[in-house]
Amino acid sequence: MKKIFLAILLMVMSMAINAGVLTNAQITTVRAAMVADTNLTALLAPAQPDVTAISNYLNAASTVDAWNDSIDSRTLFEAMDITLYDAVTAGKRDSWSLLLQFAPVDMKRAQYRKAIVDVWGTVSAPAILTACLRKATNLERYLANAAVTTQGVSGVRLTFSGSIPVNEVTGLIFNDNGTRAI
């Protein structure tokens, strides 16, 4: 009876890992990036790697700037120079108000970045655009598209946003049959 229970438990856990946050293509990309990442070399070396430490590393902020995919109106408002707001034409103020009403906005989208430049001009826009960046996690960095620059402010466009649970990290390191994948 215990063997049957254990077999069912392992099957359910395997399905949970396979039905995780990453697609098969993303898993392949992340595995290759993990092997190439010198910060993970020592963590991946043991036969039974410290999966929690690896998970912590993958979910930690990297040094790579990324366009925030959910920037709220408060952040946008606080980034603007309120003294310059009065000098902006009525139509531009209306456009800015409309953008704030759409918040949270996905700054990966060029149209939103362009709107900030259109409203605030080339001198004031960079400060607001900089506030629209965040540090990508190491996992997000592995899966990000190339950096795009708007008015001198650069960030990668994330194709995956979020963290990875420990059980899925185990699925990255080991195949379903328990052998090492990386």
Q: Which is it for the CA torsion 96, 99, 103, 105, positive or negative?
A: negative
Q: Are residues 52 and 7 in the same domain?
A: yes
User: pLDDT-derived band of residue 20, with 50, 70 and 90 as boundaries?
Assistant: confident
Domain around 84: 66-156
> What's the chain's average pLDDT?
91
Q: Are residues 40 and 84 in the same domain?
A: no
Q: Are residues 92 and 104 in the same domain?
A: yes
- Judged against a pLDDT cut of 60, whether residue 97 lies above it is answered with yes
Query: d(Cα 35, Cα 118) in Å, to the nearest integer?
Result: 43
Q: Are residues 22 and 97 in the same domain?
A: no
Q: Are residues 89 and 133 in the same domain?
A: yes
Q: Are residues 133 and 168 in the same domain?
A: no
**Which are the contacts of 39, defined by CB distance < 8 A and separation ≥ 6?**
57, 138
Q: Are residues 144 and 75 in the same domain?
A: yes
Considering only CA atoms, which of 1, 19, 69 is closest in space to residue 171? 19
* Number of domains into which the chain is organized: 2
Residue 16 gets the label, from left (phi > 0), alpha (psi -120 to 50) or beta, of alpha
CB 65 within 8 A of CB 141: no
Run of H or E residues at 136: strand 133-137
33-86: per-residue pLDDT in tens?
999 999 999 999 999 999 999 999 999 999 999 999 999 999 999 999 999 998
Q: What is the mean pLDDT of residues 124-140?
A: 98
* Domain-located, residue 181: no
Please tell me the pTM assigned to this model. Answer: 0.84
